[in-house]
Structure 1
Amino acid sequence: MASTPAHKPVSGDSKLDPKPKLSIWQIFTMSFGFFGIQFGFALQNGNTSRILRSFGADVDQLPMFWIVAPLVGMIVQPLIGHYSDRTWNRLGRRKPYFLTGALLSSAALVFLPNSGSLAGLIPALWIGAGMVMVMDASFNIAMEPFRALVADNLPDQQRTLGFSIQTFLIGLGAVIGSYLPGVLADRGFSMEPGKNGVADNIKYSFYIGAAVFVTAILITVLFSKEYPPGQYEKYHGKPEPSEHQGISEIAKDFKKMPRTMKQLGLVQFFSWFALFSMWVFTTDAVATHVYGLSGDYTKSIAYNEAGNKVSEAFGVYNFIAMLYALCLPFIAKAIGRKLTHAISLIAGGIGLISIFFIKDPAMLKISMIGVGLAWASILAMPYVILSGSIPAGKLGIYMGIFNFFITLPQIVNGLFGGWIVKHIYSGEPVYAIVLAGFFMICAAISVLFVYDAGAIRIKEEKISTVTA
């Protein structure tokens, strides 16, 4: 991909031109690719554990397979952010990465449920784990530039709206992706594992997900625009040439990360540790704690029913997130970004803890209401707060570096979560869900101490407008 020289903003630039506000339609098409990404992400989150279990993984081994995702993200996202800051060609600055990630992700979605059929000398479990790694790398390539694109194109006043529309589309894609296996089962697709260990309703859901992923990304690529370098400089500051140092420059940027990013790191640690536990352990927690299954239950229809119930419950939290995302700009304007995020995280913590008290699978959907409020806020508010503190010319790299605070807690959980379930919780994964709830509440407390530079700047602009 063609690249412009590495650069850094020049100090003492003349007053920047205000970025024009975009229409709702422009913001919508700019973010529509996230619909496809989260459609695929929902299929992965709701079904990867049971696919790997059907290939022979033990429940305490699941975190070690899931750890692939954050490890890949920790490497890929900063690199994509760094190079997308410096890319400009016929497709644009961020779009080449959207398209590349979409094509690779779709291929992985097709191959993952067929890992059993591809197995020869290598066990199906390891082929499946490899496909998960490819899928995660590809999702990261497609996903990382979307955060930077919103910050590229929108003024401070529209960023909460922009990230909220992204969250709405994330929720919409995830709702459909979460419910799809159950819908196909109702339409006659078999829920009984086939010769390759994966039921038809799961396999065809992944095929549909691959097609939706590519289509959604193409809509963003074809119907959204990016500012060319000259126009971009007017809004973000005039760059000056500097030596392109690659990885070493990323390390320097990491050391210089804004104070707000460091403070948000603790919030993200608690939040994403909790989410990782939820994605990895909920299916087995419901199977054992709610359905009462024990022994070698992973090949049973009851286990697949539990998996479908969890997938539907995940659909509920994504549906709630989709609706709540539309309310976030108004709530944040009324009570502030930090308090909005804190209240949402508390709701998520209560929702996760309540799963311990459930005996009827239908009640899972009630628990997921609180999780949906937290999920919507996690996908929007940290990025809104962060974007106001990032220096010009560094949006991509710092959005990528910020991903460290998402991947690190997942890696920690992946390394120790399975051991804790096996040796401390006596093989009862429901207690991992309870711990996740408490971690959400810890995240809510820690966000109250974050410095929000963007909110302060907007307040100052309002005061200057009134006094002018």
Structure 2
Amino acid sequence: MTGQSAAPGIAEKPRQSFWGLWNISFGFFGIQIGFALQNSNMSRIFETLGTAVDDLPALWVAAPLTGLLVQPIIGYFSDKTWTKLGRRRPYFLAGAILAAISLFIMPLAPYLLFAAFMLWVLDASLNVSMEPFRAFVGDMLRTDQHTAGYIVQTGFIGAGACIGSFFPFFLDWAGVANVAPPGVVPDTVRYSFWFGAVVLFLAVLWTVVFTREYSPDEMRRFEGPDAEPSGSPIRALAAKSFGSGMLWIAAGALVLLLVNRLDLEKEVYLLGGLLVFYGLASMLAIQLAKAGNRTNMLSSIVGDFSGMPEVMKRLAVVQFFSWSALFIMWIFTTRVVAQYVWGTTDSGSAAFNQAGNWVGVLFGIYNGVAAVAALTLLPLLSRRLGAAYTHAACLLLGALGFLGFMFIRDQYLLILCEIGIGILWASVLAMPYAILASNLPQSKLGIYMGLFNIFIVIPQLLVATVMGQIMLWLFPDDPIWTMAFAAGSLAIAAFFMLPVQALLQNKARQDGSPEAEGVYAQ
């Protein structure tokens, strides 16, 4: 395999060494520690401060909603930013500072509403840092190193998730108090959050200090003539009618009506509200575009969303089904393991809590597997198969891991399931982004990576609301069937990777070079 060949008149980005790849993605290690601490401990903090278990989903809505709103906006602005600190790095640093402050304050929250507000601030800050990191890999690396770049980033994600998830357990083992008076967060959680704040800030600072972004002039030389003329998505938006926006509003209104008619969970209101909001936003964006306002953020975001490149549209379907399976796992695994391995449905029993502790271990294992697989298995497969077929294979391995829950009743044998799920997790975090970064306009990597996040958030909202209702209707006493739903969802995602592969092959033939697929890790 030869390296990337630049087209005539286009400069070539320097090839990054291993330490260059390390520096580019090291900040993600700290960001993922922050996410892991949040995901593992926020429900515990909320319950400590007095919330009922039934109200937890409403408080957790902050996380997906924040990502849905923040990432496209940050992506839009980071594409257009240039300062002495660079293009993406100002957002890394600002988000890290705010997230570190939030992690320090969160376990000191005296009231539930204050803790909920700090969760919102924390999640927004983590998203401000995280979103530009996805585009940063594409900015800094040549096409034939995109897969390697996202694989290294995935390794840091897995390592950070492991440390963040296990740190309270480690402190408990070391003798730090794991219980506290009512209304007080235990020392294990407080110290873990403070540790996370320091590591997050230092890890992001490492990337800020030890990387140098290419200037706008350098990026123009690397990109060559703009494949997508400036303003073209907005011009296309101006030619549209208001009919599509009205359809989104009608769909949202129907969802809101069904919540009352079918007595659905109250979180479904959020889904209906988001549909109505997007319909109104798209109509306003079309009106602004028709009026000749071609520089506003709303029309740019809506125009880019409605005019996504074909490869992004096809990967969006894959993301939807992939993340649906992952959210099913995160929500239902504890109930499945408690009922089918420990034989209890009593959430107050010692057996249920033992099952919950073991699920934490299982989740730590799949994150550890992901870190190892990202640096060993994925490079090997991507060289042999290409990114698209590698991702399809990993999706099927993940499906097998979920199917294992249907039959295995031994807690230790469940580790076999987590190996497949860990390989899936590594691929989900690397391969779609490697494909995107190699096949999107480089000047818009930020906004497109932010919009791609929508297809992570929507499945989260659907699983958190609709999936519970489906199980209540079809299998009210058998949560094990959620694992079958997850396996089926991953099989569908693997099937939809075939059109992605076909598109990449067509592009490679048109370009006359296999490297045009951007699928090889060297």
Unaligned runs of 5+ in 2: 1-6, 232-293, 517-522
Aligned counterparts of 2:186 and 2:97: Cα–Cα separation in 1: 25
Conserved in 2, the CA contact under 8 Å of 1:70 and 1:410?
Answer: yes
- 8 Å CA contact 1:45–1:279 kept in 2: the answer is no
Is residue 136 of structure 2 the alignment partner of residue 154 of structure 1?
A: no
Aligned counterpart in structure 2 of residue 269 of structure 1, from 320, 333, 352: 320
Pairs within 5 Å for 1:161-176: 161-176=148-163
Q: Aligned pair 1:180/2:167, yes or no?
A: yes
Correspondence 1:288-307 to 2 at 5 A: 288-295=339-346, 297=348, 304-307=353-356
Matching residue of 1:224: 211
Relative to the length of structure 1, the TM-score reads: 0.86
* 2: CA distance, partners of 1:387 / 1:143: 16
RMSD between aligned residues: 2.7
Q: For residues 182 and 406 of structure 2, what CA distance do their matches in structure 1 show?
A: 35
Do the aligned partners of residues 24 and 41 (structure 1) sit closer, same or farther apart at CA in structure 2, a change above 3 Å counting? same
Q: Check conservation: 1:191, 1:200, Cα contact below 8 A.
A: yes
Q: Determine if the alignment matches structure 1 residue 259 to structure 2 residue 310.
A: yes
Q: Report the Cα offset of residue 450 of structure 1.
A: 1.2
- Paired position in structure 2 for 1:349: 399
> How far apart, CA to CA, are the structure 2 residues paired with 1:463 and 1:216?
32
Give the residue type in structure 2 aligned to 1:221: V
Partners of 1:404 and 1:376 lie apart in 2 by: 20
In structure 2, the residue matched to 1:145 is 132
Worse-matched range after superposition: 126-135 or 235-244: 235-244
How big is the shift at 1:51? Answer: 4.1
* Aligned equivalents of 1:311, 1:429: Cα separation in 2: 18
Distance verdict in 2 for CA 1:87–1:454, change over 3 Å: farther
Q: Against the structure 1 CA distance between its residues 234 and 63, is the aligned structure 2 distance closer, same or farther, given a 3 Å change threshold?
A: same
Match of 1:237 among 224, 228, 236: 224
Q: 1:147 is matched by which residue type in structure 2?
A: R
Counterpart of 1:336? 386
How far is the alpha carbon of 1:244 from its aligned partner? 2.5
User: In structure 1, how many angstroms separate the alpha carbons of the residues matched to 2:402 and 2:440?
Assistant: 33
Distance 1:347 1:81, change over 3 A: same
1:272 and 1:462 mapped to 2: Cα distance?
Answer: 29
Shift of residue 407, structure 1, vs aligned partner: 1.1
Listed one character per residue, the Cα deviations across residues 161-218 of structure 1 (whole Å, up to 9, x for unaligned) are: 1111101111111121222122112111233454226443233222211211111101
- 1:85 maps onto 2:79 in alignment: yes
Q: Which residue of 1 aligns with 2:360?
A: 311
1:247 positional shift: 1.4
2:182 pairs with 195, 199, 207, which one?
195
**For 2:117, which of 126, 130, 145 is the aligned residue?**
130
> 1:378-418 CA deviation, whole Å, 9 max, x = no partner?
00100111122212311111111111111111122223233
Label 1:282 to 1:133 Cα distance change in 2 as closer, same or farther (>3 A): farther
Provide closer, same or farther for how the CA distance between residues 419 and 442 of structure 1 changes in structure 2, counting only shifts above 3 A: same
Q: 1:44 aligns with which of 16, 35, 38?
A: 38
The residue correspondences of 1:432-447 to structure 2 (distance < 5 A) are 432-447=482-497
Alignment counterpart, residue 213 of structure 1, candidates 194, 200, 215? 200
Letter of the 1:133 partner, please give it: W
For 1:279 and 1:16, how far apart are their aligned partners in 2?
45
> 8 Å contact 1:250–1:397 — kept in the other structure?
yes
What's the CA shift for 1:234?
Answer: 0.7
Q: Partner of 2:392: helix, strand, or coil?
A: helix
Provide closer, same or farther for how the CA distance between residues 142 and 430 of structure 1 changes in structure 2, counting only shifts above 3 A.
farther
CA distance in 2 between counterparts of 1:357 and 1:463 reads: 43
Task: Choose from 76, 87, 95 the match for 2:70.
Answer: 76
Distance 1:397 1:353, change over 3 A: same
2:371 aligned with 1:322? yes
Give the 3 Å change call, closer, same or farther, for CA 443–454 of structure 1 in structure 2. Answer: closer
C-alpha separation between the residues in 2 aligned to 1:447 and 1:93? 32
Bigger relative contact order, structure 1 or 2 (CA pairs below 8 A, ≥6 apart): 1
**Residue 388 of structure 1 contacts residue 452 of structure 1 at CA under 8 Å; is this kept in 2?**
no
Q: Match for 1:413: what amino acid?
A: V
8 Å Cα contact 2:143/2:515 also seen in 1: no
TM superposition shift of 1:422: 4.5
Displacement of 1:141: 0.6
In the alignment, which residue of structure 2 is the partner of 1:246?
297
Distance 1:290 1:258 in 2: 46
Q: How do 1:368-447 residues align onto structure 2 when only pairs under 5 Å count?
A: 368-426=418-476, 429-447=479-497
> For residue 312 of structure 2, what is the amino acid of its counterpart?
M
Q: Does the C-alpha gap of structure 1 residues 58 and 282 become closer, same or farther in structure 2, counting only changes over 3 Å?
A: farther
Q: CA deviation at 1:461?
A: 2.8
Count of aligned pairs: 443
CA distance in 2, matches of 1:314, 1:391: 36
Q: CA deviation at 1:98?
A: 0.7
Question: Offset of 1:302 from its aligned partner?
Answer: 5.3
The runs of 5 or more residues in structure 1 that have no matched partner are: 1-12
Secondary structure of 2:182's aligned partner: coil
- Could you tell me how far apart the structure 2 residues matched to 1:232 and 1:367 are? 44
Measure how far apart 1:262 and its partner are. 0.5
Give 1:281 deviation, angstroms. Answer: 2.8
Secondary structure of 1:263's counterpart equals: helix
Worse overlay, 431-440 or 206-215: 431-440
Q: Separation in 1 of the partners of 2:60 and 2:103?
A: 16
Q: Could you tell which deviates more after superposition, 364-373 or 84-93?
A: 364-373
Name the residue aligned to 1:5: none
Q: Percent of aligned positions with the same letter in both sequences?
A: 43
User: Amino acid of the residue matched to residue 83 of structure 1?
Assistant: F
* Cα distance in 2, alignment partners of residues 246 and 134 from structure 1: 23
The amino acid that maps onto 1:368 is E
CA distance in 2, matches of 1:17, 1:138: 35
2:13 is the alignment partner of 1:26: no
Q: Which moved more, 1:302-311 or 1:254-263?
A: 302-311
**Counterparts of residues 41-120 of structure 1 (less than 5 Å):** 41-54=35-48, 62-115=56-109, 118-119=110-111
Distance 1:57 1:431 in 2: 29
Question: Does the CA-based 8 Å contact 2:346-2:352 persist in structure 1?
Answer: no
CA distance in 1, matches of 2:184, 2:338: 18
Question: Per-residue CA shift, 1:116-138, capped at 9, x if unaligned?
Answer: xx11xxxx2x4443333222211
Contact kept, 8 Å, 2:25 with 2:153, in 1: the verdict is yes
* CA separation of 1:114 and 1:275: change in aligned 2, threshold 3 A: farther
